[in-house]
């Protein structure tokens, strides 16, 4: 999804560099694409929050009941949380970039 977002942002930047204004239908299409990327960002945020809560809960459970199986499960949660944070960071920055590109396109 990050590749699609970056490719779309580059496409919009090329349109801005050309200086040709977009029609109202094209602007509506850009808004629709931004909405899709916002939805994707929201879904990944919710999954990231779930894994963060599971990771913290696992650490607390390990403190209350120290067993290596609990620690192994928590290590798996942490191993999934880190890539989710990284992916969400890219989605968040990409959507913010699309916001600014959309504003620039409206000004054309």
How far, in Å, are 56, 81, 86 from residue 66 at the CA level?
A: 14, 22, 30
* 1-35 pLDDT per residue, tens: 889 999 999 999 998 999 878 888 999 999 999 99
Q: What is the pTM of this model?
A: 0.81
How far, in Å, are 33, 36, 79 from residue 106 at the CA level?
A: 15, 19, 42
Q: What is the pLDDT of residue 2?
A: 86
């Amino acid at each position: 999804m990050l590749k699609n977002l970056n490719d779309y942002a580059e496409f919009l930047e090329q349109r801005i560099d050309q200086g040709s204004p977009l029609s109202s239908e094209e602007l509506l299409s850009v808004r629709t694409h931004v909405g899709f990327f916002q939805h994707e960002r929201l879904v990944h945020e919710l999954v990231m929050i779930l894994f963060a809560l599971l990771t913290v809960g696992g650490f607390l459970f390990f403190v209350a009941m120290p067993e290596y199986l609990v620690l192994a499960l928590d290590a798996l949660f942490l191993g999934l949380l880190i890539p989710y944070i990284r992916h969400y960071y890219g989605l968040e920055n990409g959507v913010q970039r699309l916001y600014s590109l959309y504003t620039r396109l409206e000004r054309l």
